[in-house]
Amino acid sequence: MSAFLPAFLLTLFAGLATGVGSALAFFAKRTNPRFLAIALGFSAGVMLYVSFIEIVPKARESLISVSGTSTGSWQTVIAFFLGIALIALIDIFIPASDNPHELRKEEKFSGAPGTADVIFQANPTQNAKLMRMGLFTAAALAIHNFPEGFATFLAGMHSAELALPIAVAIAIHNIPEGIAVSVPIFYATGSRKKAFWLSFASGLSEPAGALIGWFLLSQFLGTAGFGWAFAAVAGIMVYISLDELLPTAEEYGQHHHAILGLIAGMLVMAISLLLL
């Protein structure tokens, strides 16, 4: 239980990175979409490498120790794809127009309030639509971040060295999501303060997901339960990387920027696992 606080703080750090995205949108004098593309690709590389090289083998080892080689291996595969199914179902049940992972023109850096002088024009109908979009995006983001928060927290409970790069990767992933929440709310209300704090608060769903998931599942997380949960976490992170991070990276930059970041993330993760 001594790992509880560090694991929770790492999860909180990852979740509140949405506020960084909001601040970038509003206060940065210049933005660098190429850097964001490389950073998002880097996050994907970290998540993919650690999922396949570290998390899945550890999950398989736990399940084999309880159920034997054949059954444990099958359970690992099933749990991995159940994790993918969980996060995919969340995407399916959230409409594309309200999904923070479906990029919209207003959310790109080129249209963010920090890149140009913004004139707030009172248009009640348009403002209501933008406010609705921002609030629904915040709600959708909260739902998405629940399993991400539990994934970070569970990794932290197992190993702080393993959880740290995951937390950093998810934090980078949350930066454009913070932009997705804050920009439409700003255009609807003209208030940077309200948009920033709503975006910042939406990131609290990650530590909330960590706490709720832990208190609901901790009694079941023996050796076998840990194996199932860890394999599912790997599936969640692989889905996030392939369905969200890499497509978003290519939207902000070019294909080669995303792949450069991906390879760099894998390399850094590989070296860190060897050194730690």
**Binding residue ranges for Zn(2+):** 148, 173, 177
Place of tokens 């629940």: 146
Residues that constitute the known binding site for Fe(2+) = 145, 148, 174, 177, 206
Exposure b/e, 228-245, CB count within 10 A at least 16 = b: bbbbbbbbbbbbbbeebb
Residue 76 token pair: 């690992």
Following CA atoms 8, 9, 12, 13 in sequence, which dihedral angle do they give, to the nearest 10 degrees?
-140
Angle, vertex CA 142, rays to CA 119 and CA 195, nearest 5: 20
Q: Which one, of 236, 32, 41, 245, lies nearest residue 151 by Cα?
A: 236
How many other CB atoms are found less than 10 A from the CB of residue 28?
Answer: 14
Binding-site positions:
145, 148, 173-174, 177, 206
**One-letter identity of residue 44:** A
Provide the 3-class DSSP secondary structure of residue 156.
helix
d(CA 197, CA 22) in angstroms, rounded, equals 9
Chain centroid to Cα 34, Å, comes to: 20
